[in-house]
Amino acid sequence: MRDPHAILEMRTITKLFPGVRALDDVTMTVRRGDIHAICGENGAGKSTLMKVLSGVYPHGTYSGSILFESEEMAFKDIKSSESVGIVIIHQELALIPELSVEDNIFLGNEIVAKGLIDRRTLRRRSLDLLARVGLDVDPGTQIKTLGVGQQQLVEIAKALAKNVKILILDEPTSALNEDDSANLLTLMKGLKAKGITSIMISHKLNEIAEVSDAVTVIRDGRTVETYDVEAGQVDEDRIIRAMVGRSLDNRYPDHEPNTGGEVILEVQGWTVEHPTVPGKLVCKDESFVARRGEIVGFAGLMGAGRTELARSLFGRSYGVHKSGQIFLHGAPVELKTVREAIRHRLAYVSEDRKLLGLNLLDSIKDTIVSANLRAVVRRGLIDDAMERTVAERYRKSLRIKTPGIDVGVATLSGGNQQKVVLAKWLFPEPDVLILDEPTRGIDVGAKFEIYRLIQDLADQGKAVIVISSELPEVLGICDRIYTICEGRISGEVPRSEADQETLMRMMTTTVGSAA
């Protein structure tokens, strides 16, 4: 039964939270030197499992056993798991922005001589570690001046400083662009060649396919299956089936494209300057249209200026407006504030749900009416009965899963939170709905529902603009697609003529460059 190559075995791990069985009898084995992928929907228990393994949840708060190099482990905190060489890199990077690269690498693990930090050794070892992860920066640089991709490499250097044997990466590429992601995956393969075992939690099936040697799928706190794969030959559909527990032959609902409606929104020559860097343009002479009943996609890499475009259109809530004109139903309008934008029936659903979309202290009811409070005011006071009617209506029509509308939005899952935000922006009855990454951080099942909803809205005669960095999503639901590159619209194609390759090419083509 025992695999002689196993470096780690987790047996019958069960972890209970009040009212929730987060992990239920999970067993998995990781072989020495493998890159082992763990997949599962949000909330399936992947992160909980890794927190058990790394001692964030100490021994005694769960049942089951952890065998590391054939010995039973009882970690009481992160330090004790790190002392044997199990290091976790969390999704939210554990770096201190104001401290230098070298101080971060050795944070919690300082090199001390005679009670004082030994700066010389610190510097020497930092240079060595940075070389190992292929990051060429001065170790004295402050973390905040580095890009996310570089910060991720610092995290790995930090793990290497602890003589890591098993490196756990929780969604390591979720914040990275394509180049940085590719770079990171290459580094992981390099670490594997040096004998370091990695466990990677990821949603991104293409990444799993590229580097993993084994896959474990977790659903609802249980192991569904574990099997070996050959890097480069992974059956993505098999993983998806296991993750959602049903066959998703079609990840996107069918919908008849509609691109023949009258133009509702037209933007001409839209040019916007960065809010704090004068002279830096985030939108450069962008023009586009959106028609009634149409789903328009905006595809672009991170940092291309998609969100900047959307927010600057929405009542100039981002950047400094330089030039350009918005037309609604053919008439020019000036939308200088968010209030005016809402009054002209524009809605913008932010990509950052928790920071910009929701007040996490509010209840569902309060959130839904918050963008159009005037509609529930009677005689100068907010009418509680009207509020309830409205909130109940949206709860039913959007199928928000909740015990009641007085529940705090913070308690909802990502998918249901997103529905609440959608409800909030549907209540002002917009004609044009701009959805910025509408399915970010939402699991596969809920995504399908959000797509259905987007299509329903289009069928009701609204113009829906979907901003997304996931190409399959753009291709799956949009009727017509614009690509954005470096603040310019670099192309426009109907869905019927688009595929991933052409879109990616357009997204990376700088318009007007010398060539």
Partner 1 sequence: MNAVKQVFGTDFRQFTMVFALVALLLGFHLASGGKMLTPGNMQNLIAGNAYVLILAIGMVMVIVIGHIDLSVGSVAGFVGMCVALSARDLHFPWWAALLAGLVIGALIGCWHGFWLAKIGIPGFITTLAGMMLFRGGVIWISGSVSVPVPPELNVLGAGYLPEWGPAWTYLNNSTLLLGILAIALYAWSQISTYRRRVADGETGLSFAAVIIRVVLVGAVLAYVTFLFGSGRPGTSFPVPGVILVALVIIYHVITQRTTFGRHIYAVGGNKQAAALSGVSVDKVYFLVMVNMSFLAALAGILFVARATSAGPSDGNMWELDAIAAVFIGGAAVSGGIGTVTATMIGGLVMATLNSGLFLMGVGQDKTQVIKGLVLLAAVAFDVYNKQQGRPSISGRLFGDRTKSETTAEPVQIAPTTPGATGQ
> What is the contact surface with partner 1 in residues (CB under 8 A)?
56, 77-79, 82, 90, 92-99, 103, 107-110, 112, 115-117, 119-120, 123-124, 141-142, 145-150, 158, 271, 274, 276-277, 279-281, 284-285, 303, 486, 488, 511-513
355/307 Cα distance (integer angstroms)? 14
Q: How far, in Å, CA of 315 to CA of 434, rounded?
A: 13
Minimum distance, C-beta of residue 108 to partner 1, in the bound complex (Å)? 3
In the complex, least distance from residue 510 CB atom to partner 1, rounded to whole angstroms = 8
CB nearer partner 1, residue 381 or residue 515: 515
Please tell me the distance from the alpha carbon of residue 167 to that of residue 9, in angstroms, as a whole number.
Answer: 15
| H or E segment and range at residue 30 | strand 20-31
Six-digit token string for 311: 């927010």
Q: Which is nearer to partner 1, 145 or 397 (CB)?
A: 145
Residue 229 to residue 202: CA distance in whole angstroms = 16
Contact by Cβ (8 Å): 453, 422: yes
Nearer to partner 1, 56 or 67 (CB): 56
Tell me which residue has tokens 């929780």: 170
Between residues 54 and 418, which has the closer beta carbon with respect to partner 1? 54
**Cβ at position 480, least distance to partner 1 in Å:** 23
Shortest Cβ distance from residue 279 to partner 1 (Å)? 6
Pairwise CA distance, residues 234 & 209, whole Å: 5
Q: How far is the CB of 75 from partner 1 (least distance, A)?
A: 12
Structure tokens at 483: 């690509």
| Residue placing its CB nearer to partner 1 in the complex, 119 or 336 | 119
**Cβ-based nearer residue to partner 1, 99 or 333:** 99
Cα 135 to Cα 218: distance, rounded to the nearest angstrom: 34
To partner 1, the closest distance from the beta carbon of 116 in angstroms equals 4
In this structure, how many other beta carbons lie within 10 angstroms of the beta carbon of residue 115?
A: 5
Measured between its terminal Cα atoms, the distance across the chain in Å is 62
For partner 1, the closer of residues 120 and 194 by Cβ is 120
Rg, Å, the chain Cα set: 25
Least Å distance, CB 329 to partner 1, is: 29
Element containing residue 457 per DSSP (H, E): helix 444-459
Looking at beta carbons only, is 216 or 312 nearer to partner 1?
312
Distances (CA, A) of 58 to 52, 141, 220, 455: 7, 35, 22, 46
Q: Report in angstroms how near the CB of residue 303 gets to partner 1 at its nearest.
A: 7
Amino acid at 390: V
- List, in order, residues 6 or more apart from 53 with CB less than 8 Å away: 8, 10, 66, 81, 86, 88, 168, 199
